[in-house]
Amino acid sequence: MRVIIIRYSEIHLKGNNRDFFESALISNIKTVLKEYQYDFARSNARYIIRNFDEEKLNEITDKVKNVFGVHSLSVAEEVDSVYDEIVAAALKYSPNFGSFKVSTNRADKRFPMQSMKVSAEIGGEILEKKPALTVDLFNPDNVIYIDIRENGKTFVYSQTIKAVNGMPVGTGGKGIVMLSGGIDSPVAAYMMAKRGMSLRAVHFHSFPFTSLQAKQKVLDLAKIVKKYTLRMTVDVVSFTEIQTAIHEKCPEEYMITIMRRFMMRIAERLARINGAGAVITGESLGQVASQTLESITSTNSVAGIPVFRPLIGFDKDEIIEISQKIGAFETSILPYEDCCTIFLPKRPVTKPRLSAVEKVESALDVENLVNNALNNIETIVIE
């Protein structure tokens, strides 16, 4: 029988609360496989998927390998722990040319042959049937794995598919990610989901200064991120009134700083409303004027909950590499402006003093502007 073996990641390091993490991981795997028919079983430190439609094999493995908490998976043949059946399966998974070796794990000590003997004997059987092959125990082109389990079954496979690792989504609390149309914020969302955080997104939209295509671009990015976060809701905040007020009443060089403070206030309010414990941003130290230490300090001063910046020490090339890996880059670079790119000052202040920022901001009715924005939210559940 063909099966899929799933191995989990950091969960094996957990102690008495390991069941909590395993339950979350199993639930997440079943969530991504909800449209498929299959049987699911636990087997020591791994899970086994059986009785699935083999025409859907690639779809199933692609979905499972992107579930945070999964370390790797293998497509294997499951046979009775009988020597002749193991040989037949090993032949099925052996190559027709190049070098190979057989690697055996004998978890069932009742099996009459020791691991090295199993590897040597089955390697000999393969060579007899396929004389074009050569044995290389140190740097083989192919490895045939034989895993003899305690339940009288043996798994035989030849490939290990690397998964995303991390912790199961839902085990690391809940956060609000500030999702723009750029490269950074989807990567920040991915990084926090990888540490087990459930996410909800907030996007600041300044229609008519920004287009409906810009809004759709963000929703498309949210859909890409959902592949890893499992679920995603986006609160689209009308930011036009706030940006207009800042443009009219604040010095140009402080516009970005004041705007970021408003965004942080609104994100924090949404976090409290939705039971989230943190705000996540895609900021990287020194990347732009609003991401200097002084600017970040100014933004943090209005936040009453933790602000996580998972990309703070990354350079742009590193961020782009992850963006490409998760499939977000091509969407992120589409040429639609978001609210962070309109009304850009020629010389933004890069080291704002908090006292100066607060003085500039005093020209605005902050509370009324924030409340108006919160009362003009479009909530979109990403399907």
Dump pLDDT digits (tens) for 16-40: 888 999 999 999 999 999 999 999 9
Can you list the domains of the chain with their CATH numbers? 2-162 (3.30.2130.30), 174-381 (3.40.50.620)
Taking residue 43's Cβ as centre, other Cβ atoms within 10 Å add up to: 15
Q: What is the mean pLDDT of residues 55-69?
A: 97
The mean-pLDDT minimum among 192-196, 221-225, 253-257, 334-338 falls in: 334-338
List of E strands, the chain? 2-8, 39-43, 46-50, 70-80, 99-106, 134-135, 142-148, 153-157, 161-162, 174-178, 198-205, 233-238, 278-280, 307-308, 377-381
Residue in this structure with the two tokens 């939209």, named with its chain if needed:
205
pLDDT at 341: 59
- What confidence category does residue 179 fall into, taking pLDDT thresholds of 50, 70 and 90? very high
> What tokens does 154 get?
């043996």
Average pLDDT, the chain: 94
Residue 290 pLDDT > 80: no
* Model pTM score: 0.92
Cα separation, 75 vs 70, in Å, equals 15
CA distances from 336 to 180, 219, 238, 283, 325 (A): 11, 13, 17, 20, 22
